[in-house]
Structure 1
């Protein structure tokens, strides 16, 4: 009986400390989220500061607060901060090897924020993975595809890959290719394309729209039209001009041929 009482008395402080540690962890996690959210809102409310920096700093603040919470939890169990530093110092090599990927992502995240090859809201292609940048934090970049699929790219992979930023500049060039029949007038078709593009107010006058015969295909004479527009209007201009030119060709008697072949029989 005395042994049971003695074990109970010995286990009680441990259970009490575990309960305190759990409370500190929960409150710390909530506090970290609240503080990082407040930092993000304050920074993003300043027009002079890019929102990408706000998200990154908020992520940094969250992890710093969580690190402080971890130190506090270890302190509850009697492990002092100086002891933690000593343990980490002795195990620095092992930790570095184990977390080299994570540390690489962290360093890459800093480089992405400093050099800013992309920002929040921009449409980018990172090593063959394309989407709109939704978030950039300490370790990862979050992309959202046009069909609303979430893609998480580690910052180390992002920084080490070829980055194509489709939203970096205010304007983009739209290339359109139209095939017409060999029996139709190329000059007439070019005139029609010019009239359609000039009627679209989204098409910029400078640089001037360009339409040329660019290829003599097996079944068609190919005309390429190059126009410039605001980057945000790129897809609408591309799709709507394609439709408008096709309808104008139909109205003016310009045909878009189907691929076909001609069989020639030679007499023996």
Structure 2
């Protein structure tokens, strides 16, 4: 019995061992070739003229396509008839279709992102409840880097089916800041202090003109809003500098805060 098993095992090893070894070698060499092709494409002069957004998507599409070709070659080396593979795929078509539904939606979403271009690599966007700088757009996913350096991966289909706010697409942005002061302060005084602080803040543009006005209030205090325009790239510098400058100006001029609300026991 043991001799029969050893004989049968030897026959199988002779019959399929060579094919398996050749398939493994092909897989390893194919992986190296794919990396070389991707690298070579990246060095092509014409490809360098393509913008970063499309470049990442094309790289992703090309890489997946090459891997599909490699896997088909490996299957043929193993001696598996393609007709049998297609038959199996057709038999399991419904299950595979359901399994790939999300993947196909992501591919379609990626194509739509390339066509309509709601954002590009390097833009700062808000989408699907998260925000960050666009790192790349691949065949299936869009990757953002959050302000605290977290990597956020969003399926392309989800990006296309949600509201996207591109905070970098326009050259200028407006900084809006709200402040509250005591009820007995003079509105003209507060408005003047805010406008002076805005004028002293670096990177604030004078056209469009800055804005500072009373916007509301209650029995405890008044609400004011300051608005200042700046270049999109300077937004956060202006935001923090303006917050500090207006706060310091009010402190230096003894502007009182709204009265604390008394809670009855």
Q: What is the TM-score with the length of structure 2 in the denominator?
A: 0.87
For 2:145, the equivalent position in structure 1 comes to 144
Does the aligned pair in 2 maintain the 1:140–1:152 contact within 8 Å? yes
Quote the offset at 1:67 in angstroms.
0.8
For 1:266, the equivalent position in structure 2 comes to none
For 1:8, the equivalent position in structure 2 comes to 10
Does the aligned pair in 2 maintain the 1:122–1:165 contact within 8 Å? yes
CA–CA distance in structure 1, aligned partners of residues 47 and 91 of structure 2:
40
Does the aligned pair in 2 maintain the 1:106–1:139 contact within 8 Å? yes
Does the aligned pair in 1 maintain the 2:143–2:151 contact within 8 Å? yes
Q: Alpha carbons of 1:219 and 1:37: their partners in 2 closer, same or farther (altered >3 Å)?
A: farther
Q: Alpha carbons of 1:44 and 1:257: their partners in 2 closer, same or farther (altered >3 Å)?
A: farther
Q: What is the TM-score with the length of structure 1 in the denominator?
A: 0.86
How many residue pairs get aligned? The number is 260
Which blocks of at least 5 consecutive residues in structure 1 are unaligned?
264-268
For 2:217, the equivalent position in structure 1 comes to 216
For 2:128, the equivalent position in structure 1 comes to 127
For 1:177, the equivalent position in structure 2 comes to 178
Give the SS at the match of 2:152.
strand
Quote the offset at 1:85 in angstroms.
5.3
Does the aligned pair in 1 maintain the 2:201–2:241 contact within 8 Å? no
Does the aligned pair in 2 maintain the 1:215–1:222 contact within 8 Å? yes
CA–CA distance in structure 1, aligned partners of residues 116 and 211 of structure 2:
35
Does the aligned pair in 2 maintain the 1:32–1:61 contact within 8 Å? no
Range that drifts further, 78-87 or 205-214: 78-87
For 2:200, the equivalent position in structure 1 comes to 199
Q: What does 1:224-243 correspond to in 2, within 5 Å?
A: 224-243=225-244
Does the aligned pair in 1 maintain the 2:134–2:145 contact within 8 Å? yes
Range that drifts further, 82-91 or 110-119: 82-91
Q: Alpha carbons of 1:3 and 1:260: their partners in 2 closer, same or farther (altered >3 Å)?
A: closer
Q: Alpha carbons of 1:98 and 1:217: their partners in 2 closer, same or farther (altered >3 Å)?
A: same
Q: What does 1:148-167 correspond to in 2, within 5 Å?
A: 148-167=149-168
Alignment deviations for residues 85-104 of structure 1 (CA, whole Å, 9 cap, x no partner): 56556654543233111111
CA–CA distance in structure 2, aligned partners of residues 102 and 90 of structure 1:
20
CA RMSD after TM alignment: 2.4
